[in-house]
Structure 1
Amino acid sequence: MVRRILAVPAGLIAGIICITIIEKIGHQMYPPPAGAGSDDMVAMKNYVAQAPFMALFFVIMAYAVAGFVAGFVASKVARNGKHTSAAVCGVIFLCITLYMMASLPTPIWFWVLGIAVWGLVFAGSRLALKTKKI
């Protein structure tokens, strides 16, 4: 029971680490303007509205890797042979993503991919359930 409870935070933490690392790589390649930070939503909206395709695509790649890793970690920690913990991680990340996409002027392709990639929690979970137990 404790493993199933801890599985969701473990998956979320693993996913957040993936998002942070990949987005930092994206910011190195496509740096946002100096004023565009998480505390200045107007500057962030202006940046997202004018950001190059690859700057936004790095966010999608971060979400995809995070979804897979979160599903894998959550299922490994839970060790109950089910996708439940991975699904909870996916739903939490999806809700956060929907909020961010509604807050920022993201293009339609970003909405489609931003929603779809969180299904990768099931691919990560499936791999975790197939591999040898740790």
Structure 2
Amino acid sequence: MVRRILAVIAGIIVGSIGIWLMERLGHSLYPFPAGMKLDDIEGFKAYVDNLPFMGKFIVILGYALGALLSGFVATKVANNNKPTAAMICGIIFLFFTIYNMVLLPTPAWFWVLGIAVWGLVLVGYKLALNKNKG
């Protein structure tokens, strides 16, 4: 039981790092406006609203990377060949993704991909299983 809890925690941490790295890339390509404070929710909403397609798509790529990494790591740490830890990571990330999409101005395509991409935790799970066989 403890191992499965640690697996979910490890999956969330590693997945979050993957998302953060991609979002850092996005912010370097599409920087915040000069003088904008990160705690200024209205300023952040305006920033997101004015991001070009690629700026928003980089966030989706970050979610995809986070999903793969969290599914892979959670499965490896759980070490029980079951998708449960990976799926719990995906559900947790999905909850926060939906929260962000409700809070921020995101187009319909972002909603579709933002929800669908968390299914990639199962790809991470499968990759982890394949590594166990080799």
Q: Tell me the TM-score normalized by structure 1.
A: 0.95
Q: Does 1:76 align with 2:76?
A: yes
Q: What's the RMSD between the two structures over aligned residues? A: 1.2
SS at match of 1:82: coil
Does structure 2 conserve the Cα–Cα contact (< 8 Å) formed by 1:75 and 1:125? yes
Hey, what's the Cα distance between the residues in 2 that align with 1:61 and 1:20? 11
Matches for 1:1-134 after TM superposition, within 5 Å: 1-132=1-132
CA change 1:104–1:20 in 2 (3 A) is same
Q: Distance in 2 between matches of 1:30 and 1:78?
A: 38
What are structure 2's unaligned runs of at least 5 residues? none
Between 124-133 and 31-40, report the one with greater CA deviation. Answer: 31-40
The aligned amino acid for 2:95 is C
Any idea what the Cα deviations from partners look like across 1:61-92, whole Å, max 9, x if unmatched? 00000000000000000001100000000000
Measured in 2, the distance between the counterparts of 1:35 and 1:45 equals 15
Change beyond 3 A, Cα 1:30–1:99: same
Kindly provide the CA deviation profile for residues 97-121 of structure 1, in whole angstroms up to 9, marking residues without a partner as x: 0000000110001000000100000
Distance 1:106 1:15 in 2: 22
Percent identical residues: 57
> Any gaps of 5 or more consecutive residues in structure 1?
none
**What is the CA–CA distance in structure 1 between the aligned matches of 2:57 and 2:100, rounded to whole Å?**
15
Q: For 1:87 and 1:39, how far apart are their aligned partners in 2?
A: 31
How many correspondences in the alignment? 133
Segments of 4+ moved more than 4 angstroms: none
Report the TM-score, using the length of structure 2 for normalisation.
Answer: 0.95
